[in-house]
């Protein structure tokens, strides 16, 4: 494999590589010579320094998102699962197409295209293409060696696509907080997650009672005057509500509490609707509500599986509008979660160039096929899943329903962790030890 760079971070050896993959896999097959327009797929391989010369088995990490790049580890313990994984594996960290150092997509990419062109292009950055990239990587750069996969959040969606399309490539699969409902339905997802978001908001206000008053005062101020963020985006009540996007992870309640703590400039910073909002607060809101360039544009289309009976048509916004308690005029103000809304592509400068493509995509019914229900029913690859009972983003009931219809699936249901539990030092080790003790990894260890 072509080596771009090689170095150490404390406790890890890192090598960097990249390969060409086709933009469109329609006339290509993983492992064969690529035909047509190509993009770059960047990946890192990390291992413990003492294992540099050892041929350990491979573990490929399927990053969450959508639109998420692989972790940039500061050391083995900066992302808790890595410390355990490098005891047993060489870890492959691909940047999914369009992210990180793989050929990048942002507003500049789509602004040069028409809405239809950009929509067609963005369809090539979903699960069916991502998994074909990874299978091409396995076949061409790792000599077809079968590997183990670990999928976090959206990485669990990718895992089921991998098990649907190329199950022979996998020795075993692990997922954490990321089993999608099959059959997929975007509106169904938000009908489950908005009530969870209401409960999360209520829990936040119960923990920090003054924040209900403070948030209401900020919302009233935003409703009555024009406020802009440091990047010139308008600061609206709807954008304030999206501070709840992180409420499914720890310690997000505390982060939002301390952000709100410095909202007002007058006096000692107590709640004062007539006070200016501080620069620190506005900068913090801008940072907290900004995400990677593909996260929001692709968000609802991760639920698009093949030919749809009807277009997605802003599924989250449909549910939001059906729930008056989430209105921007309601008090107490409820926060929203991992949901996209049309106003984002009107108000946020980084997302505005995506709006013509979103108009096309939201009315489209033709997407790549990502799940094979029959193949999943007959699955032989050991699937080991952590299901977080109170998961705000991926409903545990829907996860368990899907797992009940996947062959050779094992799952651990827990309320000890939020959606990001894998980043600690318990979840992956628990799943790995359980799989090892069941014999799921017998051909490796």
Distance CA 436, CA 89 (A): 14
C-alpha triplet 334, 338, 344: angle, nearest 5°: 85
Percent of the chain with pLDDT over 70: 100
Q: Is the pLDDT of residue 150 over 80?
A: yes
Residue 379 has pLDDT above 70, yes or no: yes
Mean pLDDT calculated for residue range 120-132? 98
Looking at residue 291, its pLDDT comes to 84
Mean pLDDT of 307-336: 98
Sheet holding 383-388, edge to edge: 5-9, 12-22, 38-47, 90-94, 58-62, 147-152, 170-176, 383-388, 409-414
**The pLDDT of residue 292:** 84
pTM for the structure as a whole: 0.97
Is 90 exceeded by the pLDDT of residue 248?
A: yes
Q: What does the pLDDT read at residue 1?
A: 64
- Kindly state the average pLDDT of the residues 77-93: 97
Kindly state the average pLDDT of the residues 5-16: 98
- What pLDDT score was predicted for residue 376? 98
Please write the tens of the pLDDT for every residue from 250-280: 999 999 999 999 999 999 999 999 999 999 9
Residue 181 pLDDT exceeds 90: yes
pLDDT 10s digits, 214-238: 999 999 999 999 999 999 999 999 9
Whole-number pLDDT of residue 354: 97
pLDDT at 177 exceeding the cut of 80: yes
Domains of the chain, CATH where assigned? 5-184+370-438 (3.40.50.1820), 186-361 (no CATH)
Read off the pLDDT of each residue in 439-443 and give the average, rounded to a whole number: 96
d(C-alpha 49, C-alpha 367), whole Å: 43
CA angle at residue 34 from 32 to 36, to 5 degrees?
150
Mean pLDDT of the chain: 97
Is the separation of the CB atoms in 303 and 71 below 8 Å? Answer: no
- Number of other residues whose CB lies within 10 A of the CB of residue 325: 11
């Amino acid at each position: 494999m072509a080596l771009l760079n090689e170095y150490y971070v404390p406790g890890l050896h890192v090598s960097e590589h990249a390969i060409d993959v086709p933009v469109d896999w329609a006339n290509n097959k993983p492992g064969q010579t690529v035909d047509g327009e190509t993009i770059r797929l960047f990946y890192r391989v990390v291992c413990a320094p003492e294992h540099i010369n050892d041929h350990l088995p491979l573990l490929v990490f399927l990053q969450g998102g959508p639109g998420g790049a692989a972790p940039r580890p500061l050391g083995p313990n900066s992302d808790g699962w890595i410390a355990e994984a490098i005891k047993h594996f060489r870890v492959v960290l691909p940047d999914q197409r369009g992210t990180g150092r793989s050929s990048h997509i942002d507003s500049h990419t789509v602004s040069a295209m028409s809405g239809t062109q950009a929509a067609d292009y963005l369809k090539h950055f979903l699960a069916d293409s991502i998994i074909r990239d990874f299978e091409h990587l396995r076949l061409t750069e790792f000599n077809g060696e079968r590997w183990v996969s670990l999928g976090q959040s959206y990485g669990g969606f990718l895992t089921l696509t991998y098990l649907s399309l190329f199950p022979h490539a996998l020795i075993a699969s692990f997922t954490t907080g990321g089993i999608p409902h099959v059959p997929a339905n975007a509106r169904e997802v938000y009908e489950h997650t908005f009530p969870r978001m209401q409960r999360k908001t209520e829990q936040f206000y119960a923990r920090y009672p003054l924040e209900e008053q403070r948030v209401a005062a900020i919302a009233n101020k935003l409703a009555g005057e024009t406020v802009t963020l440091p990047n010139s985006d308008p600061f609206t009540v709807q954008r304030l509500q999206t501070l709840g996007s992180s409420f499914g992870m720890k310690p997000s309640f505390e982060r939002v509490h301390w952000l709100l703590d410095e909202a007002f400039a007058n006096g000692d910073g107590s709640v004062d609707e007539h006070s200016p909002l501080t620069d620190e607060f506005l900068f913090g809101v801008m940072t907290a509500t900004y995400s990677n360039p593909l996260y929001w544009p692709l968000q609802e289309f991760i639920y698009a599986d093949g030919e749809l009976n009807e277009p997605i048509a802003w599924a989250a916004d449909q549910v939001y509008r059906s729930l008056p308690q989430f209105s921007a005029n309601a008090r107490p103000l409820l926060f929203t979660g991992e949901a996209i809304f049309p106003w984002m592509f009107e108000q946020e400068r980084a997302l505005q160039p995506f709006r013509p493509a979103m108009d096309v995509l939201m009315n489209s019914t033709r997407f790549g096929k990502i799940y094979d229900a029959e193949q999943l029913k007959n699955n032989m690859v050991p699937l080991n899943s952590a299901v977080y009972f109170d998961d705000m983003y991926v409903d545990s009931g829907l996860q368990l329903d899907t797992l009940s219809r996947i062959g050779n699936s094992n799952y651990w249901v827990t309320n000890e962790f939020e959606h990001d539990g894998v980043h600690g030092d318990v979840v992956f080790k628990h799943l790995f030890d359980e799989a090892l003790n069941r014999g799921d990894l017998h051909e490796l260890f």
